[in-house]
């Protein structure tokens, strides 16, 4: 079943109430309107990401609540849900992932790092500065689409003033990835959503390949 307005209603109310008692009283709604659509969505998209990388084997759907020990003043229960497709279990380690997120603000999806280590970014810069064909392909894929933008905090000072603006946009980031955000509710609630996300992931596959080439370089050191 596709996502629906009931999905967003539940997420909003879940965050508003921020109560395990309320959640348990409405768990059937969670299963029907949130958990089941997410499971079906990930199952539909998984073959497409495995076409990009057959070693992607860890498909994670977020919990509906945060660990109270780490909430740090935030609500324990979420108003969003997300899923990731990656080779590794720990997203805090330097492995890129494809991801998809749903909230009342719309849906966001893309490919990149949750947190890229300094070593990973340095190895990536080596590939960029050496005009690696992997980076050339990634740059071409990025420049020839208008769905995704680059994310990642930039250094305050331009460290590569002699490079092209296109390269600077990658070189001066502390972490990196591609992200798209949409409030196309008709698409979110459509049974064509998984097909669209899979197609958009395929369009940026060279970027993922470039990230994984960086990982290979790092592993060889």
Q: Report which of residues 65 and 32 the model is more confident about.
A: 32
Cα 217 to Cα 146: distance, rounded to the nearest angstrom: 29
Cα 188 to Cα 106: distance, rounded to the nearest angstrom: 8
Q: What is the pLDDT of residue 184?
A: 98
Model confidence pLDDT, tens digit, residues 136-193? 999 999 999 999 999 999 999 999 999 999 999 999 999 999 999 999 999 999 999 9
Average pLDDT over residues 73-99: 82
Model confidence pLDDT, tens digit, residues 50-64? 999 999 999 999 988
Q: Strand, helix or coil at 178?
A: strand
Model confidence pLDDT, tens digit, residues 3-27? 999 999 999 999 999 888 999 999 9
Q: What is the pLDDT of residue 220?
A: 73
Q: Report which of residues 66 and 124 the model is more confident about.
A: 124
Tell me what the pLDDT averaged over the chain comes to: 92
Neighbour tally for 109: CB within 10 Å: 24
Cα 147 to Cα 122: distance, rounded to the nearest angstrom: 27
Band (219; pLDDT cuts 50, 70, 90): confident
Domain that holds residue 106: 5-220
Burial of 111 (0-12, 13-18, 19+ CB in 10 A): buried
What CATH number is attached to the domain comprising 147?
3.30.930.20
pTM to 2 decimals? 0.92
Number of domains in the chain: 1
Among 39, 185, 175, 82, CA closest to 120: 175
Q: Strand, helix or coil at 150?
A: strand
Q: Strand, helix or coil at 30?
A: helix
């Amino acid at each position: 079943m596709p996502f629906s307005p009931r999905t967003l209603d539940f997420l909003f109310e879940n965050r508003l109430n921020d109560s395990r008692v309320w959640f348990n009283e409405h768990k059937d709604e969670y299963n029907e309107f949130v958990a089941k659509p997410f499971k079906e969505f990930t199952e539909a998209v998984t073959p497409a990401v495995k076409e990009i990388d057959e070693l992607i084997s860890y498909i994670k759907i977020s919990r509906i609540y945060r660990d109270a020990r780490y909430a740090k003043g935030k609500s324990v229960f979420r108003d969003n849900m997300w899923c990731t497709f990656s080779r590794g279990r720990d997203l805090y380690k330097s492995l890129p992932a494809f991801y998809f997120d749903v909230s009342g603000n719309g849906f966001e999806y893309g490919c990149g790092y949750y947190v890229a280590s300094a070593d990973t970014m340095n190895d990536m810069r080596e590939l960029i500065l050496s005009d690696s064909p992997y980076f050339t392909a990634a740059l071409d894929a990025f420049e020839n689409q208008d769905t995704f933008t680059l994310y990642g905090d930039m250094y305050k000072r331009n460290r590569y003033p002699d490079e092209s603006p296109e390269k600077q946009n990658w070189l001066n980031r502390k972490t990196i990835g591609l992200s798209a955000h949409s409030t196309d509710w008709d698409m979110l609630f459509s049974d064509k959503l998984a097909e669209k996300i899979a197609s958009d992931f395929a369009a940026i596959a060279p970027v993922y390949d470039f990230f994984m080439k960086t990982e290979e370089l790092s592993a060889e050191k």
